[in-house]
Amino acid sequence: MSSSEIEPLFQTSQSRAPTGTVWLGTSQSDIHIPVHEFILTGRSMVLRKAFQDFRSTDHASVPDILTIQRDGRGQTHVIIHAVDVLTVLNIAFFVYTDSILDVWQQVRYSPESASRYRQVRSEVMRIASHLGFSTLERAARLMIEPTKSLKADMERAIRDPAFFDSADVVIELNGSEVKAHSQVICQRCPFFNALFFGRSEGMWLLARRADSEHMVRIDLRHFEPHVFKFVLRYMYADTEAELFDDVRSRDLEDFIDLVLDVAFVANELMIDRLAQICQKMLGMFGKLTLLV
């Protein structure tokens, strides 16, 4: 795939970019790939720290690897230093899909591009190593598919308060509140999707989103914080059977009450898969109770 073939894929106007979009590019090309900031910071602790620095100074860098900066229109750009645009495309593809665009495997079909493809593979390994994408680095080095690591990366990210620095939503709970990214919760939860993009098509949010300092607040104060954290974990990390593995309860009754509470929230938010996970867990313990 040549640069001329890639460019038409990324003609999205920066003025129409969705909330939370940053532009991933290279100093060697004018092509910029729209990427969600949360996916970059969720996949890489190095990028999480870099974006944290960027928020306080409007400029940050990972030495010899990349620079984060704003352009004249206020758009955020992540510029990887002196690499091929195919390397940048590989990074973008990996953070979303846990897969690799192994263009170097095409050498037999395009011998005239052999040198470029070898260089891209070398660059992917180097950038992946510096950004903490160990599965991508190993996949490029061994020329295999990467081990799936998206869920594990997001599990770690949501435990780091810095990950939510880019959040644009505050969810008010009983006695506390949590931040979230509208791009995630709308994709993962029909309730939030309807709230943001239902019949009003998000018109009620226009004034709030015009003010970059104004976060959308959602009143869910009838939900308990300790229950909602399971919902948040499911939405961000797609945690399923292992969702309750770390729970420590005084007795079985307390544990069942917790699962029921999570199921109640899942039903109200119309998250069918999470409700099914809770039902399956309750079924397992129901059988255990009968055996006892």
Interval 41-76: pLDDT, tens:
999 999 999 999 999 988 999 999 999 999 988 899
Strands (E), 181-240: 216-219
- 208 pLDDT band, cuts 50/70/90, is low
This model's pTM is above 0.85: yes
Over residues 215-243, mean pLDDT: 95
Sign of CA dihedral 195, 198, 199, 203: positive
Are the CB atoms for 166 and 20 separated by under 8 Å? yes
Are the CB atoms for 56 and 219 separated by under 8 Å? no
Nearest to 43 by CA among 112, 94, 101, 109: 94
Read off the amino acid at residue 250: R
Distance, CA of 237 to CA of 277 (rounded, Å):
14
pLDDT of 285 higher than 90: no
Counts of helices then strands in the chain (DSSP H, E): 13, 8
Nearest to 44 by CA among 27, 66, 64, 29: 66
pLDDT of 138 higher than 60: yes
Over residues 157-170, mean pLDDT: 96
Read off the amino acid at residue 34: P
Distance, CA of 127 to CA of 264 (rounded, Å):
44
Over residues 95-116, mean pLDDT: 89
Instruction: Select the more confidently predicted residue: 107 or 246.
Output: 246
Share of the chain above pLDDT 90, in %: 71
Q: What is the CA radius of gyration of the chain?
A: 22
Distance, CA of 53 to CA of 68 (rounded, Å):
10
Predicted local confidence at residue 204, as pLDDT? 63
